[in-house]
Structure 1
Amino acid sequence: MRYLEHTRRCVVVYLVCLATVVVPFTALAQDLSEEQKELQQAVAVSEGIGDSVFKEASRVSRELQMGARSLFTRDPLGWDIDTIDFLTNWLFSLPLKIPAFLSSIQEQSRLLGAAGSLFVFILLLAVLYSLLWQGRVLTVLEERFKVLNTWLPQATYPYYLALLRIVVASLVPLLLLGGFSLVRAFIPSRMPWFLFIERLLILWTIGAVLLHFLGELLLRDLFRVSRKYGRTLYNISRVVVLYILLAVGVIWAAETFHMRQDVQAFIRFIISLSIVCALIPLLLKKQALLSLLPELPYRAYQNFINALERYYFPVIFFTFLTGLMWCVGYQRLATTLWTKTWAVAGSFVLIMIGYHVLSGLLNLWVEKKGVEDEEAKFLYDALRALLRYITGLATVLVALHLLGFLRPLQGVLSLPIVTIGETPLSVWILGKALIILIAILYVTRLLQAYLTYKIYPPLGIESGLAYVLNTFLKYTGLVLGLLFSLAAVGIDFRIFMVFAGAVGIGLGLGMQAIAANLISGFSLIFGRKLRKDDWIQVGETRGVVTDIFLRATKVRTRDNIEYLIPNSDFISKTFVNYTLSTPMIRIHIPVRVGFDSDPSTVSRVLVETAEKHPEVEIYREPEVSFVGYGDNSLHFELLVWIDIRDIAAWRIRSRLYFGIFKAFRREGIRVPLPQRDLHLRTAPDWMKPGQ
């Protein structure tokens, strides 16, 4: 009976234990199944992704084919053989129309009155000024502006002077254009030649700016253009620019005086063809044109320059052919080819030059601040990282847009691959969210660097608290960036309640260690019992805290060995923080001397040696402790204070031993050696030989 009773009790206890184990896991399984159902309802993978991608690719292919066919459609030139006959007859009859033309000018002058005559007189004076007196005025202004040489940096003064020359060259046509606008306001005339003068003034302004800009670019020492090629390039470029301006003036004259449309089309054809042919001598100057491109220390840019040097003449021949195609009516094809070649190349070069200029300004700034300024280097690194990100993103987007790949790529990547709640997600949406998130992270890092460099020092915030604030700002920026990027793509945040439940169950089952490290990380960061740049010892590891992450803390020893210590170890175990309150620690240096040494002399020598050493802190005075008597020596301990951040205990101990050895030898203090006394006794008779 007793055995049955005992068995019954064991069965009851077993059932109770089984119930305590099974029931929670059953409830947990039910919760998991409910979470899984909600997750399946919230997240649905799009069906038929392959078919959708194939259909979208087919649609994009058809659009590209239609666009390609439209490019090869030739636009009519707008003139024929009758136009040539008309121009021939008009030219032969032109001398007979001179009297009528002069009478028309007299009639227009009478209608214009004194104001118009005065304006024409001023226009003639401006032309004479530009031909005769502009150089003198520029010389006088240069003499007056030499005062700026003492105010402006020596490196930038020539650029300001070049800008002054360009402004002076374009000042007269700009003033005349403004005066002409006032005359038109008071004399609302629609006479063709009156309107034509305004267009000529605009051409004059553009020509003056372009020609003087070319002169400053090619003939001065402002840019990296060899004198060997500068004069040649300037002469050819000046002729080409003047011819283009003259051609534009002829076209505007034909439009202003209402010539026949076919005649205008013929003039445009002849002028465009002549401009294409006139550019050939300039484009054949390979080395001269390539010398205009700056030398930049970037591999992608250097590869581009090398490819351009290798295939320069085929590229020029291609450009000439496309120019001829534009002249004969294939304007859309020529424009498209120029956009996908020269526009892409020019945009790349401009972006790289802009990046190089901004990067150079950052380098100059950080050199002025000094290499040892860690806050300035941190701000420099943050600015440079953000600049690289913007440059890379701008290069890719501009190239895709100019090549015509951006819209087709967006169409293919915009197909939904998964639906979260009511929001369809695609690779394009996720890519935009990732771009926004990375941008916010870079901006957050820049804000941390700016606060560390500009805000924290004036407010007197110590480095430990600054690190805590920056860490909080970093993770806050990460969370806000994630939320903002998700909101920007239109994801409903209510759906993340399901994921939060699943994550909570996952933490309860298998992520206790990770959760403990995360919680410990927050406790360490905001509890400030462990800070960046603290010197600590965990077990046998002694070093400085370089970073406190959410899961682990990085510690670097004096041997430049880095350890990653889980944050939970700092909460659950004992560690030593040498710099929690003060970095001053006291070290014990054992010293032994012979029995014949005077303890007072030994104490004096030890204290003097410690006080003379430059790495011993004067936080407190050195002390000497008489520890006791040994077998062969007197035992002392020298107690000194050091700054643990500046020097290791073993290093100062070694250096003090060197000094103590020299001081003991000078004072005649003997360092004892191990000593053993040997006592000899007479051997007994039974050990004698023969016994």
Structure 2
Amino acid sequence: MQRFQSSFALTYFLKLPSCRRESKNSNIEKSRQSRYIKKMISKFTRYRYALNTTLLLFLLFLSCPVHNTALALSASSDEEKKVPISLSSDVGEAMAREAERVRAELERRAYSLFEKEPLGWNLETVRYMYREAVSLPTKIPDITRHIAAQGRVLGFAGSMTVFVFIAAVLYSLIWRKRIYAWMENKTDPLLRRLPDTVLPYVRSGIKVVTAALLPLLLLSLFLLVDAMTSYRAAWFSLTGRLLGLWAVGSLVLNVLSETLTGGLFAATASYGARLYRWASLVVWYVLVVIAVFWAAESFALREDVLMLIKWALSITIVAAVFQLLLKKKALFSLLPSLPYAAYQKFIRILTSWYYPLLGISLMAALLWCFGYRNFGRIVLHKIWFTGAAFMAIMVAYHILSGWLMRWRERIGAKDEAANLFISSLKTLLIYTTVLASFGVVLNLLGLADLVKRLMSFPLFHLGENVVSLWIIVNAVLILLIFVFGTRLVQSYLDYKVYPSLGIDQGLGYALNTFLKYFLIVVGFLFSLKVVGIDLRFLLVFAGAIGIGLGLGLQNMAANMISGFSIIFGGKIRKGDWIESGGTLGVVTDIYLRATKVRTRDNIEYLIPNSELISNTIVNYSLSSPMVRLALPLGVSYDADPRVVEKILLAVAEAEPLVSHYQKPAVRFIGYGDSSIDFELLIWFDVRNIGRRTIRSALYFTIFDEFKKAGIEIPFPQRDIHIRSTVGPKLEN
């Protein structure tokens, strides 16, 4: 009725000028119209707020599509631009063409694997090195004179610095244990504060840092000397490089020692010492090989000689590493046992095919040494780097997942917000792990670009945009990131932000709902924009949705609009205790179509939102969750009402389930057939306590107190009076 009067008044004012022109010559008509105008003005003034609000919302609703359309038209040319949707007619041909291009690309890559690069040396290089080795004794005087000349260039101070440097190196090698003991003594007060589970790792870390600290200090001293002098001899520069190599080698060897023999991990108990011996030998050999090559490189040998030395050293490194990898049982003992089907299947495949893969790797490494660099590099990357990356991802997932599980066990099941936040983190972790596994493995195998090209054939067209399976997959992945990220943000707000700001559960749920749909819409639009789809095609779907709403989705639209009204209206919020159709329960979730209510019997009801809007709902916790309960009872006529009142009040005040929101009261309500009747009025929190629960507790206590006081609880009694009447005797 209000909308009808407001719209009628507005319509009348729009027609008012024409009415005035038609009634100029009629005074009676003018007076009648003036009275009617005054009446309409009074009604319009009464409903002006509702009318202004309605008009404002209507104009905003109209201005949005008009504004967007105007921008689209101003940016486009004079020709009318449509966004047609059409299926590709040559999907099969496009797939065949793309498959042919992929096949050609694979053939090109296969041919490139067997392209040999020149080694950089030949038999003449071997003869040259033989002649130099034979003539080496005759060159000793020249080498001695060269060293003396270098000493004169360096000077006394420089020579003393080098001497001190060499002495420090020897001191660090001999007295390293004393230095570690000194550092451990200094850090002992801090170590005592650490828990026992962390202390062994910290001690191992101190050992590793101690081993690398001395080489780093010596390297710093060398850099200081290098900055103070202009001496640039080859052996002096080589010393700096060897110091850096020493620091790295010390770090690697000590990490291996603490990991394999330090007792930090249970997996190293059986084969840790054996593996450390082999691994340390390989590391030492590699360090020596690198030092030899750097020495040869520093003294400006011929290029072909350097390449020959590099080739020979590479062969020996391959042989040393191959000897280490033959220890299959010891190496597999280090692999963690994880409870994941994909990981366990990977370990079974690796166990079955380990030696064939090792043979292929040896062949690829030797081919790399002999000039087939592409083949060796690609095969080794695909076999070992792919497996190592997959295992690293699974171990990282296991560590993070275990940390989340321990966190959940600490907080327990009562903290619902914290558990929801942990579940959101776990879901995002699973999604990230799966995405990272596929991405890293496909990239290391070199298949990412091929998969992209195979999935890039056109499925259909949206205007000028070609939509392929690859575009759809990317859009879905981006949208899933927004969905999982939205859940994580919502759960974190519930867990940390809202409680710290004092925001109640209902308002927080409304804010989370708005944030969820807003971010999902933003993620949907962003995913379409990232993959290069023109957003104007949404106008077509908007029209289709409008037709669907008009034809058969009125009920769904009504529930969705009612859902927004419930969420942002604030009358029914998450956590409220409501009663609808005789069902009392707590509101656990408010969806767009329905509201979920859970009773105290853990039965969940889905109530359509339109019914909650149109029907009468009892909200026990809208303003206050405190509800009054009237507990009826009767006692014998022999009982003193004042004594009964005192007992009932004492029972109510002593009961922990009864709230002290208001004092309990006793009402004498009447005289019954068999008892005098009372009502005990108490208050309780309907969110935490059920009516039947508090009623049962009070009845138990009242019965005991009445029994102690000798007060009877009567039951219905009836007095039967039998009358006998004496009549005339009946004669036969």
CA distance in 1 between counterparts of 2:161 and 2:640 reads: 113
2:463 corresponds to: 421
Partner of 1:532: 574
Whole-Å separation in 1 of the counterparts to 2:412 and 2:193 = 24
In structure 1, which of residues 646, 663, 671 is the aligned counterpart of residue 714 of structure 2?
Answer: 671
1:136 aligned onto 2:162:
no
Further displaced range: 304-313 or 641-650: 304-313
1:406 corresponds to 2:406? no
Q: CA deviation at 1:151?
A: 4.8
Q: 1:110 aligns with which of 152, 176, 199?
A: 152
Unaligned runs of 5+ in 2: 1-79
For the residue of structure 2 that corresponds to 1:571, the secondary structure is helix
* Counterpart for residue 518 of structure 1: 560
What amino acid does structure 2 have at the position aligned with 1:486? L
Secondary structure of the structure 2 residue equivalent to 1:589: strand
- Comparing 560-569 with 172-181, greater Cα deviation is found at 172-181
Does the aligned pair in 1 maintain the 2:282–2:320 contact within 8 Å?
A: yes
Deviation at 1:152, TM superposition (A): 4.5
In 1, Cα distance between the equivalents of 2:345 and 2:271? 24
Counterpart for residue 307 of structure 2: 265
Stretch of structure 1 that moved more, 567-576 or 651-660: 651-660
- Name the counterpart of 2:31: none
Please tell me whether residue 226 in structure 1 is matched to residue 249 in structure 2: no
Mean Cα deviation higher: 250-259 or 474-483: 250-259
Secondary structure in 2 matching 1:294:
coil
**Which deviations, in whole Å up to 9, do the C-alpha atoms of 1:625-661 show, x marking residues without a partner?**
4444444444443333222122221232233333333
Change over 3 Å in CA distance of 1:679–1:607 after alignment to 2: farther
Residue 529 (structure 2) aligns with: 487
Cα distance, 1:547 vs structure 2: 0.7
Q: What is the one-letter code of the residue matched to 1:585?
A: V
Tell me what 1:682 maps to. Answer: 725
Give the TM-score of the pair, scaled to structure 2.
Answer: 0.82
Superposed CA offset, 1:8-28 (max 9, x none): xxxxxxxxxxxxxxxxxxxxx
Please, what TM-score do these two structures have when normalized by structure 1? Answer: 0.87
Retained in 2: the 8 A contact 1:444–1:477?
A: yes
Instruction: Please state how far the C-alpha of 1:332 moved relative to its aligned partner.
Output: 1.8
Structure 1 SS opposite 2:95: helix
Post-superposition offset of 1:400 = 1.0
Q: 115-124 or 203-212: which moved more?
A: 115-124
Alignment equivalent of 1:656, drawn from 694, 698, 701: 698
Question: Given that residues 514 and 551 in structure 1 are in contact (C-alpha distance below 8 angstroms), is that contact kept between their aligned partners in structure 2?
Answer: yes
Residue in 2 aligned with 1:568?
610
Question: 1:541 deviation in Å?
Answer: 1.7
Q: Secondary structure of the residue that 1:621 maps to in structure 2?
A: coil
Q: Deviations over 1:561-591 (max 9, x none)?
A: 1111111111101111111112222223333
Shift of 1:595: 4.9
Q: 2:287 aligns with which of 220, 224, 245?
A: 245
Give the drift of 1:428.
Answer: 1.8
Taking a change above 3 Å as real, the CA distance of residues 61 and 684 of structure 1, as seen in their structure-2 partners, is: farther
Instruction: Verify: 1:59 aligned to 2:133, yes or no.
Output: no
Give unmatched runs, 5+ long, in structure 1: 1-37
Q: Which range is displaced more, 664-673 or 645-654? A: 664-673
Deviations 1:581-620 (A, max 9, x none): 1222222333344555554444444444433333222333
Q: Does 366-375 or 398-407 show the bigger shift?
A: 366-375
Q: Hey, what does 1:275 align to over in structure 2?
A: 317
**Residue 504 to residue 118, structure 1, CA distance change in 2 (3 Å):** same
Report the counterpart of residue 72 of structure 2 in structure 1: none
Rounded Cα–Cα distance in structure 2 between residues aligned with 1:652 and 1:685? 64
SS of match in other structure, 1:639: strand
Q: CA deviation at 1:685?
A: 5.2
Q: Give the deviation of 1:457 after TM superposition.
A: 2.5
Deviation for aligned residue 1:216: 1.8
Q: CA deviation at 1:188?
A: 4.9
Q: 1:432 to 1:683 in 2, by over 3 A?
A: farther
User: Residue 615 and residue 183 in structure 1: after superposition, are their counterparts in 2 closer, same or farther (change >3 A)?
Assistant: closer
Alignment of structure 1 residues 560-639 onto 2, 5 Å:
560-639=602-681
SS in 2 for 1:200: helix
Structure 1 residues 224, 242: closer, same or farther in 2, change over 3 A?
Answer: same
Partner of 2:381: 339
Q: CA RMSD in A?
A: 2.8
Aligned in 2, Cα 1:662/1:179: closer, same or farther, shift over 3 Å? closer
> Distance in 2 between the 1:313 and 1:166 partners?
34
AA in 2 matched with 1:264: L
What residue identity is the alignment partner of 1:614?
Answer: P
Alignment of 1:8-87 (within 5 A): 41-87=83-129
Q: Deviations over 1:15-55 (max 9, x none)?
A: xxxxxxxxxxxxxxxxxxxxxxx998432223312211111
Distance (whole Å) between structure 2 residues aligned to residue 526 and residue 654 of structure 1:
38
Change in 2 beyond 3 A, CA 1:585/1:39: farther
C-alpha displacement of 1:208: 1.5
- Whichever residue aligns with residue 566 of structure 1, its letter is P
Change over 3 Å in CA distance of 1:639–1:324 after alignment to 2: same
Show CA shifts across 1:432-491 (max 9, x none).
222222222222222223333333223222222222222222222112222222222233
Contact 1:379 1:446 in 2 (8 A): yes
CA distance in 1, matches of 2:241, 2:660: 84
> Does structure 2 conserve the Cα–Cα contact (< 8 Å) formed by 1:224 and 1:292?
no
* 2:475 is the alignment partner of 1:433: yes
Distance 2:697 2:199 in 1: 57
Once the 2 structures are TM-superposed, how far is the Cα of residue 347 of structure 1 from its aligned partner? Answer: 0.9
Letter in 1 for 2:617: F
Whether the 8 Å contact between 2:665 and 2:680 is mirrored in structure 1 is yes
Distance 1:674 1:345, change over 3 A: farther
- Closer, same or farther: CA 625–679 of 1 in aligned 2, 3 Å: farther
Percent sequence identity is 46
Query: Counterpart in 2 of 1:10?
Result: none
Aligned equivalent of 2:28: none
1:97 pairs with 2:143: no
Give the aligned residue type for 2:306: Q
| Contact 1:224/1:294, CA 8 A, preserved across alignment | no
What pairs up with 1:447-526 in 2 under 5 angstroms? 447-526=489-568
Task: Name the amino acid aligned to 1:127.
Answer: V
Q: Would the aligned equivalents of 1:276 and 1:324 in 2 still touch at CA under 8 Å?
A: yes
Question: Partners of 2:220 and 2:200 in 1: how far apart?
Answer: 29
Distance 1:469 1:89, change over 3 A: same
Instruction: Tell me the amino acid that sits aligned with residue 233 of structure 1.
Output: L
Contact 1:224 1:291 in 2 (8 A): no
Contact 1:39–1:499 (CA<8 Å) still a contact in 2?
A: no
Deviations 1:116-143 (A, max 9, x none): 4234313311321222222222221221
The AA in structure 1 aligned to 2:698 is: L
Q: Distance in 2 between matches of 1:615 and 1:517?
A: 38
Aligned to 1:553: 595
Rounded Cα–Cα distance in structure 2 between residues aligned with 1:100 and 1:213 = 44
1:171-204 Cα offsets, whole Å, 9 max, x none, are 3332333343444445555543333333322322
**One-letter identity of the residue aligned with 2:714:** V
What's the CA shift for 1:558?
1.2
Q: CA deviation at 1:360?
A: 4.2
